[in-house]
Chain A
Amino acid sequence: MRFIFKTSYAQDIALAKHGGHRFWYGALMLFLLAAPWLLPEYWLAQVTFVLIYSVVGLGLMVLAGFTGQFSIGHAAFLGVGAYTQAVLSGMGWPFPFALAMSAALSALVGAVVGIPALRVKGIYLGMATLSFGFIVEEGFSRWESVTGGNAGMQVKTPDLFGWQVGNGNGFYYLCLTITALCTLAVLNLLRSPTGRAFVAIRDSEISAQSMGIHLARYKSLSFALSAGLAGIGGALYAHRLQFISPDQFGILQSIDLLLLVVIGGLGSVHGAFLGAIFLISMPQLIALSKDWLPENIGQAPGLQSVVYGTVLVAFVLFEPLGIYGRWLKIRTWFQMFPFYRKGMFKRQKSFQKSDRLR
């Protein structure tokens, strides 16, 4: 068990709480910096995808994990970012400006979607975002003069003031830089009064309101930030795939993103990364295991959704805190050995927490 001897208030909000954090995150950063030399090209591409999905996951984590507002149409923001980036780089904008525009436009759209969020709660908000997602997807496929319709559109490689970043190491470093910056931004946000306000809204809107938190403002802000991050992720996604079409931003993508945050662990920044790793590595694992399974199971087309569904059900039933929660439990078990008790992470169960009366 580690006891931190605190001698100043700054230690309470420090990003790295102790030397262990500094060491391990430094090691992770070094590994990621050296990855192009350590990993084969295929795996590097997968790591790039993990980084992209992490940015999107961070966005959804801010909204769902920290503000408690669930969006079942988050792929729409991803799509807005991706299409903005595709159109602007097609017009010859340099990458940083196009990226900023994608983030800004997504954030703007997010703030607009946030408006119904001020009036509706819980499942109604889910419905509103779901509907919005469908409308945006249809918009992408119908606005053919800009988006190319269902045929999709090609995306140029990022152009960093004349330097054409290809699809290999250069793009990997670009993603790494942006992911690191976004993570730092989210971490900073969460230790600021704004982030604390988000968490307060998640835990109880009524008590947050009575503490003087302007619900409408902070909810729209959360939506805008979340959508902005999703937009950045979408821009990178477009560059990575080099081809986007409306069906990539449909309901299935939205559900994948929810899967990401729930399996990673709601309410933890780590969860976004762990969830992204899960989401990217799962198809690979399934593909690998196909050789071991009998023919009629391994080759069946529905295997992937069965595995996804089963994992999701299992996590909700047995590990509501996600992968990160499981890791916390394992770590605590070792730290406290042999004093770990079973109920330490037990969530309080209420008989009925009514949504209707509010």
Chain B
Amino acid sequence: MQFVQLLISGVAQGCVYGLIALGFVLIYKATETVSFAQGELMMLGAFCSLALLTGMGFPFWLVVPCTMLAMALFGMALERLVIRPILGQPAFSIVMLTIGIGYVARGLITMIPNVGTETRTLPVPYKDQIWNLGSLVLNVEQMAIIAATVVLCGALFMVFRYSKVGIAMQAASQNQLAAYYMGIPVQRLNGLVWGLAAAVAAVAGLLLAPITFVHANMGLIGLKAFPAAVVGGFGSLPGAIVGGIVIGLVESFSGFYLPDGFKDIAAYIVVLLMLMLKPNGLFGEKLRKKV
């Protein structure tokens, strides 16, 4: 039973990593840039939902779409204002840029009086509920994470598989120039992808908030999502979720079976091993350029 318990909590934690990693991968596939601000977007999403839920008194079912919409708009604005002007410059400029955005976001949230420096709980309706399944104790918060991840992944799969926008996004991510020649508005799509990534991050924030509290530094968990993205292969959407679950499981089991301290770095050890043995990740595509 201990094993199953660890399995479930690992998968739940892994789903959160996977959702943040999904944001990285979406952005990476679309614009070939890596956003270090993904964790901060998640944090902003959590604060946004906190403000809506406790500040404005919205019911929970309304808070979720509102938060997603607000964060999607924020992501698109971010892309338009700061990312688009420097597209085409070395990839590292954008890494530094997003690190800067992360700093600003964290600092601004910290500066809000009476909110920024405190840790709050997000009063979701399913808080602190427990299902007893035989000798198994299921935390509803964790089950909600897993269920929401499954639903979200299904929705994303449908979008990318069947909708015109999704197919256009796939085309643009495979070859921007060719997509542009086919009449696909690549830049507008990039904006949409940033919006989508921000919305996914907001969902991750909403799901994580009941477990870890809402505070300005919760975005640092985004750094754990990088290993997830790398393990899954940076360019693969299902890979991000699988990678996240792998990292979550490794963390959960190493926290229980290995000595103290391994829990925090297990993810990074896995990544280093992965990079040395299989740099393209589990689902990464292997492409070669001819000179």
Interface residue ranges, A against B (CB under 8 Å): 64, 70, 115-116, 119-120, 122-124, 126-128, 130-132, 134-135, 138, 141-142, 206, 210, 251, 255, 258-259, 262, 296-297, 300-313, 316-317, 320, 347, 349-358
Q: Does B14 contact A (CB under 8 A)?
A: no
- Chain B residues lying within 8 Å of A307, measured Cβ to Cβ, are 107
Knowing A306-B107, A313-B101, A316-B100 touch, does A135 contact B113 (C-beta < 8 A)? no
- Inter-chain CA distance A305–B234, complex, in Å, is 29
Report yes or no: B100 in contact with A351, Cβ–Cβ below 8 A.
Answer: no
Asked if B279 contacts A352 (CB within 8 A), the reply is no
Cα distance, A324 to B184, chains bound together (Å):
40
B70 within 8 A of A: no
Min C-beta distance of B137 to chain A, whole Å: 30
Please indicate the chain B residues that have their CB under 8 angstroms from the CB of A302 in the complex: 106-111, 116, 216
CB distance from A113 to the nearest CB of B (A): 9
Q: Is the CB of B261 within 8 A of A142?
A: yes
Q: Which of A300, A320, A353 contacts B110 (CB 8 A)?
A: A300
Residues of B near any A CB (own CB < 8 A): 28, 32, 34, 82, 85-86, 88-97, 99-111, 113, 116-117, 176-177, 216, 220, 223, 226-227, 230, 234-235, 260-261, 264-265, 267-269, 271-272, 275-276, 279, 285, 287-289, 291
Write out the residue numbers on chain A whose beta carbons fall within 8 Å of the beta carbon of B113.
296, 300
Give B224's nearest chain A residue, CB to CB. A134
Query: Does B291 lie within 8 Å of A135, measured CB to CB?
Result: no
Please report whether the interface of chain A is mostly helix, strand, loop or mixed according to DSSP.
Answer: helix
- The answer to whether A357 and B104 touch across the interface, beta carbons within 8 angstroms, is no
Say yes or no: A258 contacts B99, CB within 8 Å.
yes
Residues of A within 8 A of B100 (CB): 308-313, 316
A130 pairs with B226, CB closer than 8 A: yes
Kindly list chain B residues whose C-beta atoms are within 8 Å of the C-beta of A312: 96-97, 99-100, 103
B108's nearest neighbour on chain A, judged by CB, is A306
| Contact partners of A116 in chain B: CB under 8 A | 272, 275-276
- CB <8 Å contact, A131 and B102: no
Beta-carbon contact of B223 and A316 below 8 Å: no
A64 CA to B96 CA in the complex, in Å?
13
Contacts of B227 in A (CB 8 A): 127, 131
Contact status A309-B88, CB under 8 Å? no
Q: Is the interface of B mostly helix, strand, loop or mixed?
A: helix
With A301-B111, A306-B108 as given contacts, are A351 and B176 in contact (CB-CB < 8 Å)? Answer: yes
- Contacting pair B276 A119 (CB below 8 A): yes
B271-A127 in contact (CB<8A): yes
Please indicate the chain B residues that have their CB under 8 angstroms from the CB of A124 in the complex.
230, 234, 275, 279
Q: Are A320 and B230 in contact (CB under 8 A)?
A: no
Tell me which residues across on chain A come within 8 A of B93, comparing CB atoms: 316, 320
Complexed CA–CA distance, A262 and B288 (Å):
31
Residue numbers in B under 8 Å from A251 (CB-CB) = 220, 223
Q: Do A123 and B91 have beta carbons less than 8 Å apart?
A: yes
Listed A/B pairs (24) with beta-carbon separation below 8 Å: A119-B279, A123-B34, A123-B95, A124-B230, A127-B271, A131-B267, A131-B271, A132-B272, A134-B264, A138-B261, A262-B96, A301-B111, A301-B117, A302-B116, A302-B216, A305-B103, A307-B107, A309-B106, A310-B100, A312-B96, A312-B99, A317-B85, A352-B177, A356-B235
Q: In the bound complex, how far is the Cα of B177 from the Cα of A161, in angstroms?
A: 65
- B91: contacting residue among A131, A351, A355, CB under 8 A: A355
Distance of A128 Cα from B261 Cα, bound (Å): 19
Give chain B nearest CB distance to A70 CB in angstroms.
Answer: 5
Q: Does B223 lie within 8 Å of A309, measured CB to CB?
A: no
Q: Given A124-B230, A124-B279, output 14 extra A-B contacts at Cβ < 8 Å.
A: A116-B276, A119-B279, A124-B234, A251-B223, A301-B111, A301-B116, A302-B107, A308-B100, A309-B104, A312-B97, A313-B97, A351-B88, A351-B176, A355-B32
CB within 8 Å for A305 and B279 given contacts A123-B234, A138-B261: no
Q: Which residues of B contact A115 (CB under 8 A)?
A: 276
Q: A122-B91, A306-B108 are in contact. Are A128 and B272 (CB under 8 A)?
A: yes
* Minimal Cβ-Cβ distance residue in A for B285: A356
Most A CB contacts (10 A, CB to CB) among B96, B104, B108 go to: B96
CB atoms of B275 and A128 under 8 A apart: yes
CB distance from A72 to the nearest CB of B (A): 8
Measured between beta carbons, the chain B residues less than 8 angstroms from A134 are 223, 264-265, 268
How far apart are the CA atoms of A124 and B216 in the complex, in Å? 27
Are A313 and B82 in touch, CB under 8 angstroms? yes
